[in-house]
Chain A
Amino acid sequence: MSSDLQDLYQEVVLEHGKRPRNFREVEGANRRADGYNPLCGDQLTVTLRMEGDVIKDVGFVGQGCAISRASASLMTGAVKELTRAQAEELFELVHKLVMEGPAGLDTEALGKLAVLSGVNEFPSRVKCASLAWHALRAALEGKASSVSTE
């Protein structure tokens, strides 16, 4: 396998893609948003339970490729117990990571999410990696309508 493919499909990505964490609707969710990628038809729904300004629980359901499922799975792990502002900061960081690569980014703040760094070598897959994050942001903003990667 070529090295950029190895970077894209790191073991953690494959594992999360196969067995995504928090692949469920959150019980008692008070925020939700759908994410849709019209290019491939992938669709997922992110649900949140917010207590005040803090994300107490987060889950996702839907269908997508390994990258979008892994990114969604890692996202649910990363944003639990974060405030809305912290989650939005993380969104910006992940967005930069998949768009521009890891150079100059605070990789410590990214934690496990750093495994998504390989995506930036694959422009056609950036939307896959960011779908769940767009849906998260829409849910945090309390938008009822679905978001699209377009």
Chain B
Amino acid sequence: MSGIPLDVARIRADFPILHQEVRGRPLVYLDSAATTQKPQAVIDALVRYYTHDNANVHRGVHALSERATQAYEGARERVRRFINARDAKEIIFVRGCTEAVNLVAQTFGRSKVGAGDEVLITAMEHHSNIVPWQMLCQQAGATLKVVPVDERGDLRMEHLDALLTERTRLLAVTHVSNALGTVNPVREIVKRAHGKGVPVLVDGAQALQHFRVDVQELDCDFYAFSGHKVFGPTGIGVLYGKSAVLETLPPWQGGGDMILTVTMEKTVYNRLPYRLEAGTPDISGAVGLAAALDYVDSVGLEAIAAHDRELLEYGARALEGVPGVKLMSRARERSGVLSFVMEDVHAHDVGTILDRDGVAIRAGHHCAQPLLSCFGVAATVRASLAMYNTREDIDALVRGLHKVREVFA
């Protein structure tokens, strides 16, 4: 921890979208788990790229193509550095976290998972880290197994060893729960899985914007995340994979840079990372993502993490002071998310009334229906935080909740 508090006023000045009125009230954006807002530096990088450098990558001999290629490959190196991968070829650009998970399910899955095998996930996964594995298991005749969650919102780690069997081919686990904010002990999970020879995919969609992630330290085999949840553009994401594992994957989609030579009889596939990136990639997205990571590093993830902890604590205390509000998660370690229900008021009604005050939260099942079923609720209100949020944002939320109580008194 740096010990230097975040200069939130300065950070907020970097995010133009925050400075607007919604429904006649200043915007209070508490939906960053759905997507984060973008700093001016990211918006400028996109404009600059399209204004000066736009061209296709890897095949042009002209100056613009060289510049675009340099920017795209520079972004790959930027991502490598951000998550501390060993080699830039371990960074595969995809459309988002969901596509990264699907890529692994359909390549690793196709080559390594067969009838009678097992894939292990957790009850805390959102749909993007459930459905691709259900699809794979159905295709392969494999079984999907689930690590349960306790009533506090922690994984029931005591079940893990028994669920890892000699038939388990892969364990997929979220780093941070999008619905509860639970931070899972990923290093420990990887250690136990590797002890049984099981590779691990980590869904990092909700993690990278809140704290430092080091894929070598975690020792995970795959790490998936989306650019738009770490202050970058939509439509770009990353699959990190250990090169030794990526080398064993069959190609996924065909076409474009994944090819070295083609005859009508045979195709020779390209090397990593290009072998897993078919077609013209999202070049501007990669450029924008690199700018976002630059921005995050300029602020400092240690300061961001400290700010997140402070706001979560403040928020939890403030919400507990509202009659009828019940926080969903009591997990040992949490990040970024305050998920709660209100007695006798449905989350949707809470969302509508808050929206009328310019307070943006998410109401619903957060694409984690199985998890919410475990807790016996169909929907929660989720206020999710980012570096640009303040205590005043939480105060506005609480004021709104009092108004909800008035309406439903």
Binding site for B on A (CB under 8 A): 1-2, 4-5, 8-9, 14, 18, 39-43, 63-67, 122, 124-125, 128
Which residues, 348 to 367 on B, are CB-close (under 8 Å) to A?
Answer: 348-349, 352-353, 356, 363-365
Query: In the bound complex, what is the Cα–Cα distance between A4 and B23 (angstroms)?
Result: 11
Binding site for A on B (CB under 8 A): 23, 344-349, 352-353, 356, 363-365, 369, 372, 378-379, 403, 406-408
Whether A1 pairs with B365 at a CB distance below 8 angstroms is no
Q: Which of A4, A18, A43, A67 contacts B356 (CB 8 A)?
A: A4
Q: B282: shortest Cβ distance to chain A, in Å?
A: 27
Instruction: Given A1-B407, A65-B349, verify A40-B356 contact (CB < 8 Å).
Output: no
Whether A14 pairs with B378 at a CB distance below 8 angstroms is no
Chain B contacts for A39, CB-based, 8 A: 364
Q: A39: shortest Cβ distance to chain B, in Å?
A: 6
Instruction: Given A66-B345, A66-B346, A66-B349, verify A42-B378 contact (CB < 8 Å).
Output: yes
Chain B contacts for A64, CB-based, 8 A: 346
Among residues of B, the one whose C-beta sits closest to the C-beta of A66 is B349
Query: In the bound complex, what is the Cα–Cα distance between A1 and B403 (angstroms)?
Result: 8
Query: In the bound complex, what is the Cα–Cα distance between A5 and B364 (angstroms)?
Result: 20
Q: Which of B352, B372, B403, B407 contacts A14 (CB 8 A)?
A: B407
Whether A8 pairs with B352 at a CB distance below 8 angstroms is yes
Query: In the bound complex, what is the Cα–Cα distance between A65 and B348 (angstroms)?
Result: 6
Instruction: Given A40-B348, A65-B346, verify A2-B407 contact (CB < 8 Å).
Output: no
9 nearest A-B residue pairs (beta carbon): A65-B346, A65-B348, A41-B365, A41-B378, A40-B364, A66-B349, A65-B349, A5-B356, A40-B379
Query: In the bound complex, what is the Cα–Cα distance between A128 and B349 (angstroms)?
Result: 10
Whether A43 pairs with B378 at a CB distance below 8 angstroms is yes
Whether A67 pairs with B348 at a CB distance below 8 angstroms is yes
Chain B contacts for A66, CB-based, 8 A: 345-346, 349, 408
Whether B352 pairs with A124 at a CB distance below 8 angstroms is yes
Whether B364 pairs with A41 at a CB distance below 8 angstroms is yes
Whether B407 pairs with A9 at a CB distance below 8 angstroms is yes
Among residues of B, the one whose C-beta sits closest to the C-beta of A69 is B346
Among residues of A, the one whose C-beta sits closest to the C-beta of B348 is A65
Query: In the bound complex, what is the Cα–Cα distance between A8 and B351 (angstroms)?
Result: 13
Query: In the bound complex, what is the Cα–Cα distance between A64 and B378 (angstroms)?
Result: 9
Interface centre among A18, A41, A63 (most CB of B within 10 A): A41
Q: Which of B347, B353, B407 contacts A40 (CB 8 A)?
A: B347
